[in-house]
Amino acid sequence: MSMLARTLGRTALQAAAARGVHTSSTLNDVRTGSKLKDGANYGANRTTCTLIPGDGVGPEIVYALQEVFKAANVPVDFESYFLSEINPVLSAKLEDVVASIQKNKVCIKGILATPDYSNVGDLQTLNMKLRNDLDLYANVVHVRSLPGIKTRHTNIDTVIIREQTEGEYSALEHESVPGIVECLKIVTAKKSMRIAKFAFDYATKNQRKKVTAVHKANIMKLGDGLFLRCCEDVSKLYPRIQFEKMIVDNTTMQMVSNPNQFDVMVTPNLYGAIVDNLASGLVGGAGVVAGASYSAETVVFEPGARHTFAGAVGKNVANPTAMMLCGVKLLRHINLPTYSEVIFNAINKVLNDGKVRTKDLGGQSTTMDFTRAVIANLH
């Protein structure tokens, strides 16, 4: 039996290798002795997911995730594309990646590094292009205190929902007179309505009590004013969810002093990026917070705070927790809750035991150590 499995595995690997440099799929797991006896026998029913390892430590932590999936016998195959802006020679074509995500509807993505200047003179970054092409308008970052991680605040449980297709990220900048640069911030009623409804629907679905709109409408009376008004309009459709608004500078202060007051937050693009990172810092840093970007059709799961950690490439020290939590979210999204729970419990157990910790959490263990510990706890 094992001979047969090995042969099959090798054939699959060769077939994948023949497909080219940019795409490879993890070999089909043909082991029959599944650890998960309770679920139905899914057998050949496998889901395909697009995988973008990204820059920096992305490939390492994605590999960690794949190892965990393989060990848990998760019926998910990856279609891997190397997409990168700082390494345009090796990068796959954006159109191919977009087509793959549109086909699979789900994607796991590491972080794409963004250079300060563009080598093609483009104002839009690759990240923004991907988001715009797929219309990934809503970014959801669930910031939650994890067990076993010592932080200044405990019991943080906040969801930050960020509009990420307009606002300051419009990529519309110009120098009208030498020495004077204008950057346009675009706010539209349609997209503001959409993100506000997303936030309230998210709150409804997850039994949350309160939605806080973050804005700066006292200064940008028209732009942020429109965003705020749309949120107010939508909030009237949700009489059972409390709605409040808060100015962005105050929000950051409240976040560091009393983060437990926040439940669901809905923010425009730039404020969202700031609050995301701030909140991630509160619960243990970029290595432990998972996020997801939604369009109507597709979801891209990626770490919540966007840092490539380029300094640690190849050193085997990055924390794969964020990426693994992305995997957990992915499984929950595609209706494989049993697998999702098994992996989630294993991660929690390892963090809670505190024996295996990566450097960012004050330990000395490597990425691989952590991965192995999670795998050992899968049951």
Partner 1 sequence: MALRLTQRLLQTQTPFLTRGYPMLVTKEKSEDVAHTKSSLQKKVTRTDIPSAQYGGRHAVTMLPGGGIGPELMTYVREIFSYCGAPIDFEVIEIDPSTEGNDDLDYAITSIKRNGVALKGNIETKSQELSEVSRNVAIRNELDLYVNVVHCKSYPGIPARHQDIDVVLIRQNTDGEYAMLEHESVPGIVESMKVVTVENAERVARYAFEYARQNNRKKVTTIHKANIMKLSDGLFLECAKRVHKDYPELEHDNMIIDNTCMQAVSKPHQFDVMNMTNLYGTIVSNVLCGLMGGAGLISGRNYGDHYAVFEPGTRNTGTAIAGKNIANPVAMINASIDMLNHLGHKEHANVIYEATYQTIVNDAIRTPDLGGNHSSTDVVENILKILSAKRVNWPHGNYFNQL
Q: Which residues bind partner 1 (CB under 8 A)?
A: 40-47, 104-106, 138, 190, 193-194, 197-198, 200-202, 204-205, 233-234, 236-240, 292, 294-299, 333-335, 337
Q: How far is C-alpha 230 from the geometric centre of its chain's CA atoms?
A: 26
- 91 with 82: CB under 8 angstroms? yes
Taking the complex as a whole, the smallest distance from the CB of residue 204 to partner 1 amounts, in Å, to: 6
- Which phi-psi region, left, alpha or beta, contains residue 13 (left: φ > 0; alpha: ψ -120 to 50)? alpha
CB closer to partner 1, 194 vs 357: 194
d(Cα 15, Cα 363) in Å, to the nearest integer? 40
Taking the complex as a whole, the smallest distance from the CB of residue 105 to partner 1 amounts, in Å, to: 4
- DSSP type of residue 168: G
Taking the complex as a whole, the smallest distance from the CB of residue 268 to partner 1 amounts, in Å, to: 16
Q: Buried b / exposed e across 299-332, counting CB within 10 Å, b at 16+?
A: bbbbbbbbbbbeebbeeebbbbbbbbbbbbbbbe
Q: Which residues are bridge partners to 138 per DSSP?
A: 163, 294
CB closer to partner 1, 16 vs 299: 299
CB closer to partner 1, 139 vs 365: 139
d(Cα 331, Cα 338) in Å, to the nearest integer? 9
Taking the complex as a whole, the smallest distance from the CB of residue 159 to partner 1 amounts, in Å, to: 13
CB closer to partner 1, 38 vs 175: 38
For residue 194, the SS3 value is helix
Side chain identity, residue 249: D
Taking the complex as a whole, the smallest distance from the CB of residue 193 to partner 1 amounts, in Å, to: 6
Taking the complex as a whole, the smallest distance from the CB of residue 297 to partner 1 amounts, in Å, to: 5
CB closer to partner 1, 64 vs 299: 299
CB atoms within 10 A of CB 31: 13
Taking the complex as a whole, the smallest distance from the CB of residue 231 to partner 1 amounts, in Å, to: 13
Please identify which residue in the block is written with the tokens 């806080």: 212
- 265 with 233: CB under 8 angstroms? no
- 340 with 332: CB under 8 angstroms? yes
CB closer to partner 1, 294 vs 309: 294
CB closer to partner 1, 55 vs 79: 79
Phi, psi (deg, nearest 5) at residue 153: -115, 150
